[in-house]
Amino acid sequence: MKISTITPVYNNESFLDECILSLLNQTYLDSEFIFIDDGSSDRSSEILRKYEHNSNIKVIYKQENKGIAAAYQDAIRIASGDVLALLDADDVSMPDRLALTVEEFIRDEDLGIVYSKMDLIDGKGKSFDLSLCLPRYLNNKNLFMQLFRRGFFTGSGMSIRNVPALKTNLDIICCDYYFSLQLADQGFHFSYIDKSLTKYRIHKGNTSSQSTRLLSDLVKAQSPYSYSYLFDKWQTLGHSLIEIYTTFGINSYYFHKDLELAEQYFDRVIGLGGNLESYFYLGNISFSLGKVEKAYKYFKFAYEIAPEHFQTVHNFGILKEVYDRKNNEATDLLQKAKKMQPYYNLISKNIHYLNSGEISALKLIHFLSDEDAVINSYCRMIVN
């Protein structure tokens, strides 16, 4: 089985040598390494030319910057591999990444995605002593639905089956997310390798830091899938109405910022018996609309359902002060949340506001997502 790596390059001179060498040092030999120089104005093209004598390196040079989606489109067009391994030009692949990835695809012909844990490094290559991993609740049955609640697969840890129907037609920076949606929709499975096979670099210049554009591009990636299509598909897959309406509610709330529509879906969930997500998000929606009493009620339910979630503990604590005027109880709850997530900066800020009487400055945690260990990694990374 042949594997093609795809690396879009745009002004990555500081990291490109290390990226290329990490591929040339792979233990798996049936491979090709495709680089797309997307109109770089630094020394990136010069660096790429140093390695062009290697028979398994292919380079496309573009005069103008056309964006990451166009780069992937060009790369996929010339890729001869059965599998496409994604790697950003500022990241590093471990020597056995391709070998272990191919093993997974050979083992299961229904696999569309192989993903691995990634170690986090800074701009100088120093480790954060942190890893990005997948949450344990994600499985092949719920993958397509969960992708409409949040993204899971970050490019450099992701490899995909090279299928003819794979589209690169949208001008977006979240191509990894778009690929995962398409493959999950087509019924492909995913496999997770619980071993760090990539060093993922966090620095100010990387594309993944463009959070404002990223959110709008995630919505673009979802645009081919109407709610009516998703409703029918998820019912066919055996998902309950509570699961479906919860997903529509989270999708409306987080991706589309449509509080009215989100409220309607979460109200339907409560009509069917309710769950943690419906109470938590209705608490946030009610608070944002100035309905403090309703927010208190919803967060109280959420806290009673899941006192082990720091987000429910924290938000109930905020409402204990704002609605109930019980400062001591509010402080105790926020201190409990801080103990659960010591690196979550908003909690520390709100404790300060409580102690100084700046009640109007208190802010809620808006999202209920991921296991605590996953969130802890992100929070520690930001602090460092």
pLDDT of residue 241: 99
pLDDT of residue 261: 99
pLDDT score, position 173: 93
- At residue 383, the pLDDT reads 46
- pTM reported for the whole predicted model: 0.93
Kindly report the average pLDDT of the chain as a whole number.
Answer: 94
**pLDDT 10s digits, 290-340:** 999 999 999 999 999 999 999 999 999 999 999 999 999 999 999 999 999
Q: Write the pLDDT tens digit of every residue in 186-199.
A: 999 999 999 999 99
Alpha carbons 359 and 317: distance in angstroms, whole number: 12
Q: Which of 300, 298, 341, 334 is nearest to 318 (CA)?
A: 334
CATH architecture of the domain with residue range 3-222: Alpha-Beta Complex (3.90)
249, 209 in Cβ contact below 8 A? no
Structure tokens at 216: 């709008």
**Angle at the Cα of 212 from the Cα atoms of 210 and 217, rounded to 5 degrees:** 90
Give the list of residues 6+ apart from residue 326 with CB closer than 8 angstroms, or none. 320
* pLDDT lower than 50: segments of the chain: 207, 209, 383-384
The domain spans of the chain are: 3-222, 227-383
DSSP annotation of 308: T
DSSP for 329-371 reads HHHHHHHHHHHH-TT-HHHHHHHHHHHHT-GGG--------S-
User: How does pLDDT run across 159-172, given as a tens digit for each residue?
Assistant: 999 998 888 889 99
Judge contact between 90 and 12, C-beta under 8 A.
yes
Q: CA 326 to CA 323: how far, in whole Å?
A: 8
Centroid of chain to Cα 118: 13
Class of 227-383 per CATH? mainly alpha
Contacts with 80 (C-beta within 8 Å, 6 or more apart), sequence order: 2, 4, 32
Cβ-proximal residues to 75 (8 Å cutoff; 6+ apart), any chain: 4, 6, 8, 34, 36, 60
Q: What is the pLDDT of residue 384?
A: 45
Per DSSP, what are the bridge partners of residue 27? none
- Strand 3-9 relative to strand 31-38: parallel, antiparallel, unpaired? parallel
Q: Where are the beta strands (DSSP E) in the chain?
A: 3-9, 31-38, 57-62, 83-86, 92-93, 111-121, 127-132, 158-161, 189-201
End-to-end CA distance of the chain: 41
CA atoms within 13 A on the CB side of 363: 10
Sequential DSSP letters for 31-73? EEEEEEEES-SSSHHHHHHHTTTSTTEEEEEESS---HHHHHH
